[in-house]
Amino acid sequence: MASFEETIMKKVGVLTGGGDCPGLNSVIRAVVRYADKEGYKVVGVKNGWKGMIENDTIDMDINSVSGILPKGGTILGTSRTNPYKKEGQVEKVKANFKKMGLEALIAIGGEDTLGVASKLCKEGLNVVGAPKTIDNDLSGTDVTFGFDTAINIATEAIDRLHTTAESHHRAMVVEVMGRHAGWIATEAGLAGGADVILIPELPIDIEEVCELLKKRHARGKSFSIIVVAEGAKFKEGKLVKQEEKLDAFGHIRLGGIGHRLGEEIEKRAKIETRVTVLGHLQRGGTPTAFDRVLGTRFGIKAMELVLNKDYGKMAALDGNKVTAVPLEDAVSKLKTVDMELYNIAKIFFG
C-alpha cells in the first residue's frame, strides 16, 4: 500500500528520444534536481516513446543523477519509436501516462521526438520539450545542445587530417553528419580551415569543386581538405544512402556521399584522395562545457514550464536568454544554414 507521502507527491515524467548526443544527461540531472527541490517525484521513462508505449520506467532521485553531468549519451536510453506509426500505440501512451500518475511529461529530443510531443499535447496530454540535436536544425532555438560538442569533435578531426594530407600531398574528404542542414559541416569546416565545404542546402557542382582544387594545387598547395555533410547531393542527383529502408519517422539511412565525392575528385581532378567518415564519433563522448551548461539551463526551464502549467512549450535559447516557444512552432520547419555564415566560409574556399 502506498504511503501518504507517495500519494500526495506530484509526478513528472522525463524521456529522451531519437539519436543520442552529449548533454542529454545534464538535462535529466537538472530536471531531477529542480523537481526534488519543488517536491516532485520524477519518473524516468526508458528508451523514449517506446517506454511510454510499454510502461517501462524507473524511479529517479538526486542519487540516481549523481555524477552523470560529464557522461555522454543518456542514462535513460533512447529509440526512434513513433507511436503514431502503428495503430493503438498512441492510446497506450495516453493510458500509461495516467497509469504512471503523471502531472506532466518532459520530452527531450529533436524534430521527431518533439513532433510526437506536440501532437500528444494537442490531444490533451501535458507535455513540454527540451531541444536536442547535433544537427542544430530545430526551429525556435538559436542553438540546440549537442551541437557544440559535435563541431568541436569534427574540428579536431579536420585539424588532425591536415597533417597527414600535407605529408602525402592528398585531398582529404571528411564526411560529417547533417541530414537536411549543414551546420556541422559549415562551422567545423570554417573552424578547421577546410578548402571546400559542401552542404545539403546547395547542390554540389563537382566541376566547380575540382576547379577550386586544381587552382589551389597550381599555386603550390599540394593538399586540400573537403568537408561534406552526409545529406549533400550532386546537381541533378539523388541522396546517397546506405539502404532504402525507412525508419519509424520516414527517414532513410544516409551515408556514402564522401566516398562518391572522393571518387569524382580523383577521376576529374587527378588528385589522390582519401575519405574519412566521422559518423557516430560526433555524437559520442564527453559533452563540452557549453553543452553541459545549455542542457542544464534547458532542463531547469522545462521543469519551470511544468511548475507553471505552461504546457505545449519547448525550452529555447534566444541570444543568451533561455525562453519558451510553442512546440508546434519549433517543429513546423527545419532551421537550415545561415547563408551569411556560409558566404564567410566561401571566402576561404580553394
Residue 46 has φ and ψ, to the nearest 5°, of: -80, 140
What would the grid cell of residue 18 be?
531519437
| Rounded alpha-carbon distances, angstroms, from residue 310 to 104, 127, 302, 315 | 10, 9, 9, 11
Active site residue 135: yes
Q: Which of 20, 112, 135, 291 is catalytic?
A: 135
Q: How far apart are CA 208 and CA 90, in angstroms?
A: 49
> Cell triple for residue 193?
580551415
Residue reference for cell 542542414? 181
Q: Is 63 exposed, middle or buried (0-12, 13-18, 19+ CB in 10 A)?
A: exposed
Q: For residue 267, give every residue at least 6 positions away whose Cβ sits within 8 Å of its Cβ, in sequence order, or none.
A: none
Residues 6 or more apart from 201 whose CB is under 8 A from it? 181, 182, 336, 337, 339, 342
Q: Exposed e or buried b for every residue in 196-213, given b needs 16+ CB within 10 A?
A: bbbbbbbebebeebbebb
Residues noted as catalytic: 135
